[in-house]
Amino acid sequence: EAKNNEGDRALLRAASGGYKDTVTLLLDRGADLEAKNNEGATALVAAVQRGHKDAVEQLLDRGADLEARSTRGWTALILAAVSGHEEAVTLLLDRGADLEGRDNNGNTALILAAFSGHVEAMALLLDRGADQKAKSIGGLSAFLWAAYSGKVEAMALLLACGADLEAKSNNGNTAL
């Protein structure tokens, strides 16, 4: 399959644009569902990143790997959460995405949603049982990341769910 300088193939570009009919055509003609670009993104990840729920569903129906990882270790669920695409978060969880999957830095979808301030995505993850006490490699929880990035609404949600105001990172820093 031909690809551009970024390693994108036609299927990834079609999914990224939400072009459902083109995605169908390419898959019917044998496009590689799991082909990755230079950043390790698949067509599923590209569709999630742009919030194209129909394309995400279509790719999942065709067997796209829910847990495929980018070079950063991001799964489709992590990317949906960090991008604030709640419909994609719900769809991916309904299809069995790993709620506690971690990226290369030990961040979960909840941690990165908190860092980005996507409260609705956080609420969905928490409702499904996301571990708000999970910590990244540096010992940063979702609450600490929300505090460090100035996401007050995210902090409030986590506190309402029982986050520890005195939680410390590996180097002893707190939100205070």
Q: Where are the domains of the chain?
A: 10-132
pLDDT over 80 at 4, yes or no: no
**50 and 12 in contact (C-beta within 8 Å)?**
no
Q: 3-class DSSP state for residue 33? A: coil
CB atoms within 10 A of CB 167: 20
Model confidence pLDDT, tens digit, residues 29-50: 999 999 998 998 999 999 999 9
Name residue 123's amino acid. A
Instruction: Judge whether residue 88 has pLDDT over 80.
Output: yes
Residue 157's beta-bridge partner residues? Answer: none
Which residues is 150 bridged to in the sheet?
none
Rounded to whole angstroms, the Cα distance separating 16 from 116 reads 21
From 2-16, 46-60, 117-131, 147-161, the region with the lowest mean pLDDT = 2-16
Contacts of 67 (CB under 8 A, 6+ apart): 75, 97, 98, 101
Q: What architecture is domain 10-132?
A: Alpha Horseshoe (1.25)
The pTM of this model reads 0.93
* The pLDDT of residue 107 is above 80: yes
How many other CB atoms are found less than 10 A from the CB of residue 159?
15
